[in-house]
Amino acid sequence: MTTLHDPDLHSFASDNYSGVHPEVMQAIVDANGGHVGSYGADPYTARLSDLVVEHFGEGSEIHPVLTGTGANVASLQALVPRWGAVVCAATAHIYTDEGGAPERLGGLKLLTVTTPDGKLTPDLIDRQAYGWGDQQRPQPLAVSITQTTEMGTAYSPAEIRAITQHAHSLGMRVHLDGARIANAVASTGATLRQLTRDAGVDVVSFGGTKNGLLLGESVVTLTEDELPGITYIRKMDAQLASKMRFISAQFIPLLETDLLVRSATHSNAMALRLRDGLAGLPGVEVTQAVEANAVFVILPKEVIEPVRAEHRFYDWNRSTGEVRLMCSFDTQEAHVDALIASVAREIEAAA
């Protein structure tokens, strides 16, 4: 087949734009050939299950799925009955970017809270955590937090523990959307277990495609004895892959080697380099703490489109000129420096 894209083109629009990490691609190749069991009855899923116990703790179980939305919906369905509601940040991916799937497919009401940095706190949760026993109100039975957040900020283990202790005291369970949890591990220095099981989280959407996987995410249950339905929910939600070995095999190098942290550490470092280079330019304002691989900045409005023509990125708030710039495992210093130079050139031309 003829290559249909420019392999040298780099984008700051999303870490989903990146290709497959070579070590992950090799894992897919290694898993190919011959016949093995389907629907998870294969040695790669078995090996992944062992690795998950090593990283998340005894009793943890992984359930590979096809998409991040599927992981989030299945996780929340496993936690919350049909009449339940989920408290989340107003910027949460489950609320803003999943086409209403948690509510339409999952049948769950989302109760949103405005936050300054994408992070929930016990006090913020209390703005929606009320009305138990009131038949007129969806029952708040779970909290969903995102690590790292859509604003590029990271929860510390202590912050997560404060949320889970508060939620559990109210009879609520806690879901962690970990699409970029690798970046949080790299940023905070905490382990996967310290950010999840040890912090009291009940279920995790453990992401991979934003950190070099070709396809596939997963649900990691940390209280399996209380979440028996996830096995059936995954199938009902059309998230059970027949050739699961190829999803499972991709996660193995992330957990069997240092690839998960190595890739995330690199993308975080590129984001810091980008922040430092843009922060000194006239008319540029960094709007959020850079704690992972995202940089949120306000650019002079007249430079946005000329720069976007060279380096694709997304608007975050068009009224203010705030944009989001994402770095990936394959973002290089030259890519970052080229973007900074483009912004500087356009600012000077517009002056």
pLDDT per residue as tens digits for the range 276-329: 999 999 999 999 999 999 999 999 999 999 999 999 999 999 999 999 999 999
Using DSSP, state whether 132 is helix, strand or coil: coil
Give the span between the Cα atoms of 288 and 268, in whole angstroms: 14
pTM: 0.96
226 pLDDT exceeds 80? no
What integer best gives the mean pLDDT of the chain?
96
For residue 47, what are the contacts with CB-CB under 8 A and spacing of at least 6?
Answer: 248, 252
Nearest to 265 by CA among 235, 303, 292: 292
Check if the beta carbon of residue 286 is closer than 8 Å to that of residue 322.
Answer: no
- How far apart are the C-alpha atoms of 17 and 323, rounded to whole Å? 17
Q: What is the 3-state secondary structure (H, E, C) of 219-277?
A: EEECCHHHCCCHHHHHHHCCCCCCCCHHHHHHHHHHHHCCHHHHHHHHHHHHHHHHHHH
Q: What is the pLDDT of residue 241?
A: 97
- The per-residue pLDDT for 261 is 97
Distance from C-alpha of 155 to C-alpha of 133, rounded to nearest angstrom: 31
Instruction: Give the model confidence (pLDDT) of 20-68 as tens digits.
Output: 999 999 999 999 999 999 999 999 999 999 999 999 999 999 999 999 9
Residue 265 CB neighbour total at 10 angstroms: 18
Contact 215, 243 (CB under 8 A): no
Residue 159's SS3 state is helix
% of the chain residues with pLDDT over 70:
99
Which domains are delineated in the chain? 21-256 (3.40.640.10), 259-350 (3.90.1150.10)
The rounded distance, in Å, linking the Cα atoms of 82 and 101 is: 14
pLDDT of residue 1: 84
CA quadruple 212, 286, 284, 265: dihedral, nearest 10: -30
Q: Rounded CA gap, 166 and 31, in Å? A: 43
The pLDDT value recorded for residue 227 is 80
> Can you give the pLDDT at residue 264?
98
Instruction: Calculate helix-pair angle for 245-256, 22-31, nearest 10 degrees.
Output: 130
328-350 pLDDT per residue, tens? 999 999 999 999 999 999 999 98
Q: What is the pLDDT of residues 119-147, one digit of tens each?
A: 999 999 999 999 999 999 999 999 999 99
Look at residues 97, 57, 7, 1 and name the one whose alpha carbon lies nearest to residue 314.
Answer: 97
- Is a pLDDT exceeding 70 seen at residue 224? no
CA proximity to 79, closest of 16, 172, 206: 172
Contact 154, 148 (CB under 8 A): yes
pLDDT category at 225 given cuts 50, 70, 90 is low
Q: Summarize the confidence of residues 239-248 as an average pLDDT.
A: 98
3-state percent helix, strand, coil for the chain, nearest multiple of 5: 45, 15, 40
Q: Model confidence at 223, in pLDDT bands (50, 70, 90)?
A: confident
Task: Return the pLDDT at 111.
Answer: 98
Rounded to an integer, the average pLDDT of 185-202 is 98
What integer is the mean pLDDT of 80-90?
A: 96
Arithmetic mean of pLDDT, 113-121:
97
Q: How far is the CA of 156 from the CAs of 52, 255, 286, in angstroms?
A: 21, 21, 22
Establish whether the linkage from the previous residue to 209 is cis, with ω within 30° of 0: no
